[in-house]
Amino acid sequence: MAVSGEKPPPPPPPATASGGTARKLILALLTCLSSALLYRQIQPLPPKIPGTPGGPPVTATRTRLSDGRYLAYLETGVPREKAKHRLVFVHGFDSCRHDALPISTARALFLPLATELAQELGVYMLSFDRPGYAESDPHPARTEESIALDIAELADNLQLGRKFYLAGFSMGGEIMWSCLKYIPHRLSGVAILGPVGNYWWPGLPSNVSRDAWYQQLPRDQWAVWVAHHLPWLTYWWNTQKLFPASSVIAYNPALLSQEDEMLMAKFGYRAYMPQIRQQGEHECLHRDMMVGFGKWSWSPLQLENPFADADADDGQGAGKVHLWHGAEDLIVPVSLSRYISQKLPWVVYHELPKSGHLFPIAEGMADIIVKSLLLGDDHLSSSASQPPHSP
- pLDDT tens, residue order, the chain (391 aa): 444 555 555 554 444 445 566 676 666 656 655 555 565 667 899 999 999 999 999 999 999 999 999 999 999 989 999 999 999 999 999 999 999 887 653 333 444 455 678 888 999 999 999 999 999 999 999 999 999 999 999 999 999 999 999 999 999 999 999 999 999 999 999 999 999 999 999 999 999 999 999 999 999 999 999 999 999 999 999 999 888 889 999 989 999 999 999 888 776 567 888 999 999 999 999 999 999 999 999 999 999 999 987 654 444 557 999 999 999 999 999 999 999 999 999 999 999 999 999 999 888 899 999 999 999 877 665 444 454 443 3
**Spatial separation of the C-alpha atoms in residues 50 and 41, rounded to whole Å:** 25
44 within some domain: no
Q: Using H for helix, E for strand and C for coil, what is the string for 89-151?
A: EECCCCCCCCCCCCCCCCCCCCCCCCHHHHHHHCEEEEEECCCCCCCCCCCCCCCCCHHHHHH
6 within some domain: no
28 within some domain: no
**Spatial separation of the C-alpha atoms in residues 318 and 335, rounded to whole Å:** 28
H or E, element range at 349: strand 347-352
End-to-end CA distance of the chain: 104
Q: What pLDDT is attached to residue 381?
A: 56
Q: What pLDDT is attached to residue 376?
A: 86
CATH number of domain containing 230: 3.40.50.1820
Render 248-262 in DSSP notation, one character per residue.
Answer: TTTT-GGG--HHHHH
What is the Cα Rg of the chain in Å?
26
Q: Which positions ≥6 away from 219 have C-beta within 8 Å?
A: 243, 244, 245, 246, 247
Residue 236 vs residues 9, 45, 56, 250, 272: alpha-carbon distances, Å: 55, 11, 24, 15, 27
Q: What pLDDT is attached to residue 317?
A: 54
Q: What pLDDT is attached to residue 35?
A: 56
Q: What pLDDT is attached to residue 264?
A: 84
348 within some domain: yes
251 within some domain: yes
74 within some domain: yes
Query: What is the tally of structural domains in the chain?
Result: 1
Q: Within 13 Å, how many C-alpha atoms sit on residue 41's CB side?
A: 13
Q: Which positions ≥6 away from 222 have C-beta within 8 Å?
A: 237, 245
Write phi, then psi, for 105 (nearest 5 degrees): -150, 135
- Domain holding 127, by residue range, is 61-385
Q: Within 13 Å, how many C-alpha atoms sit on residue 196's CB side?
A: 24
36 within some domain: no
208 within some domain: yes
Q: What pLDDT is attached to residue 2?
A: 46
Write phi, then psi, for 226 (nearest 5 degrees): -65, -45
Q: What pLDDT is attached to residue 312?
A: 46
